[in-house]
Amino acid sequence: MKCDQPRAGIVGLGTYVPERVLTNEELQQMVDTSDEWIRARTGIRERRVASPDEAASDLALVACQRALEDAGIGPDEIDLIIAATNTPDMLFPATACLLQDRIGAAGAGAFDLLAGCTGFIYGVAVGAQFITAGAARTVLVVGAEALTRIINWQDRNTCVLFGDGAGAVVLREVPGDRGILSTVLGADGSGARHLYMPAGGSRLPASAETVAKGLHYVHMNGREVFKFAVRAMEDGAREVLRRAGLTGADVDFLIPHQANIRIIEHAAKKMNLPMDRVAVNVDRYGNTSTASIPLALEESVKKGKIKDGDNVVMVGFGAGLTWAGLLIRWYDYKK
């Protein structure tokens, strides 16, 4: 998609992470691993874990409320809520519908979007098209995950990677040449078996046998996902720039999915960007899936690393296998 006028842009940001911090040192007491092993392979030193009474919608609610406050708008102004999550409170109804009620957005449409860790970019791309088509004025997009609920804490290949959190953005039409310039969405379903949760759906409904076999946990072929990720991040960034008629030299800041520091560094190298122009918080939060990019975005904006008029590339990959890129010319909605 290459957007003509009007352009949708981000006019509000909000995030939330649980209070509980789980360090690598604590994981050493739970599974055969070490702080050195985890850091060397992933760059992660700690992650956040939702409390027993926190579900994905609880994390999302706080992030959404903060995004609305940041945008200076009320819930009655929301036309559509898109919740990107791999860990909904339940299979149905949609987590977005639970949020609609709790936020008080009585007049808004609401649906969930499932695209693995890439879900947030997918959600923003979809929400932006509602705005550019004139079908909505205000869209709330949130990525929220309680991934630690579906992790096998005896599997050191997965339990060290994931954390919980939520991040939300408010989309509206923005002035001038600001806003979303282009997006690209991709998928390769032949790789679905490399990152999935086997049971809990209609293929393998919950049973004593599926629970005993651990089929309700995340299963991942790390080697294959890594190979896909480095290709997808590079291809997504290149394609989103091509669609906007720009090159790597035009990029001011990169916000990659926070899954692994080696993948992030590879993406930065391919775009010829120094690491001080790349968002990195994987060390503190681990892989928060759909919450990863909005968490990194808000942090970068607050630190002043992203300024009005900057060309910002967001790129990610995830289960599906999916990948996506988004190019936005930042609009300083606070000025």
How far apart are alpha carbons 190 and 209 in whole angstroms? Answer: 27
205: DSSP letter:
-
**Does the active-site annotation cover 257?**
yes
Q: Catalytic pick from 86, 117, 194, 266?
A: 117
Task: Compute the Cα dihedral for 68, 70, 71, 72 and give only its sign.
Answer: positive
Q: Per DSSP, what are the bridge partners of residue 162?
A: 287
Active site residue 287: yes
End-to-end Cα, the chain, rounded Å: 28
Q: How far apart are CA 253 and CA 233, in angstroms?
A: 15
DSSP states of 223-280: HHHHHHHHHHHHHHHHHHHHHHT--GGG--EEEE--S-HHHHHHHHHHTT--GGGB--
Of 24, 97, 257, 260, which one is the catalytic site residue?
257
Catalytic amino acids?
117, 257, 287
